[in-house]
């Protein structure tokens, strides 16, 4: 599964709703903690993807290479979180459940990353610069992986909840 997550594929950068920031829990140290906090607060968990990648968006047009590197690093971090979550599911769930989780993640990533490739090819038809295209594709890939992680956490929240109700990390 780790080899698959390392593949360079891509998802259309999803426009995430910009909910009221004052009502959102803070990014409690990690994307996984943010998602759990948002679930507990009944808030949109996709905001954790935006919050986690906010630093990458702070780069100006002149530093598109730095932004690209930032998004690629974020994509790799999302992939590691997905792998960790799948391993946690495998440790507590039966083989059927963990197998389904792995298959769902694989095809969610493929579908999302295919959209990134589509957007990249469409962008090639414009006058966009190479650096800008790389930035767009890396942002799309990072967002794609982040959204797959968020979906995995939502779907596995109950599986990984401790008997007292607190999710396992």
Contact 149/30 with Cβ under 8 angstroms? no
Q: Residue 117: is its pLDDT beyond 60? A: yes
Q: Is residue 75 assigned to a domain?
A: yes
45 found inside a domain: yes
Give φ, ψ of 149 to 5 degrees.
-60, -45
3-state secondary structure of 146: helix
Tell me the C-alpha distance between 112 and 21, whole Å: 26
The answer to whether residue 132 scores a pLDDT higher than 50 is yes
Residue that has been written with the tokens 């982040």 in this structure: 146
Residue 64: inside a domain: yes
Count of domains forming the chain? 1
Residue 8 in any domain: the answer is: no
Choice between 90 and 158, residue whose per-residue pLDDT is larger: 90
pTM: 0.78
Mean pLDDT of the chain: 80
pLDDT, average across residues 44-70: 88
Tell me how far apart the alpha carbons of residues 42 and 148 are, in angstroms, rounded to a whole number.
19
- 65 lies in a domain? yes
Residue 18 lies in a domain: no
- Tell whether the model's pLDDT for residue 83 goes beyond 80: yes
71/13: higher pLDDT: 71
Domain that includes residue 148, residue range: 24-156
> 142 versus 29: which is more confidently predicted?
142
Would you say how long the chain is, in residues?
169
Select the more confidently predicted residue: 126 or 24. Answer: 126
User: What backbone phi and psi angles, to 5 degrees, belong to 161?
Assistant: -75, 135
Report the distance separating Cα 27 and Cα 55, nearest Å. 13
* Cα 53 from Cα 60, distance rounded (Å): 14
Any domain includes 144: yes
Give residue-wise pLDDT tens across range 42-56. 999 999 999 999 989
Decide if 13 is inside a domain.
Answer: no
Local confidence band at 76 (pLDDT 50, 70, 90 cut-offs) = very high
């Amino acid at each position: 599964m780790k080899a698959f997550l390392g593949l360079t594929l891509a998802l259309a950068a999803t426009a995430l709703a910009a909910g009221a920031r004052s009502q959102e829990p803070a990014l409690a140290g990690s994307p996984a903690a943010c998602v759990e906090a948002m679930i507990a607060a009944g808030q949109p968990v996709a905001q954790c993807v935006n919050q986690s990648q906010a630093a990458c968006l702070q780069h100006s047009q002149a530093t598109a290479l730095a932004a690209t590197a930032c998004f690629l690093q974020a994509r790799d971090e999302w992939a590691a979180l997905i792998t960790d979550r799948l391993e946690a599911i495998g440790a507590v769930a039966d083989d059927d459940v963990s197998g389904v989780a792995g298959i769902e993640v694989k095809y969610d990533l493929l579908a999302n990353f295919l959209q990134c490739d589509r957007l990249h090819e469409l962008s090639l038809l414009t006058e966009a610069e190479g650096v800008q295209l790389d930035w767009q594709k890396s942002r799309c890939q990072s967002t794609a992986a982040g959204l797959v992680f968020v979906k995995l956490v939502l779907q596995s929240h109950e599986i990984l909840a401790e008997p007292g109700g607190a999710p396992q990390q």
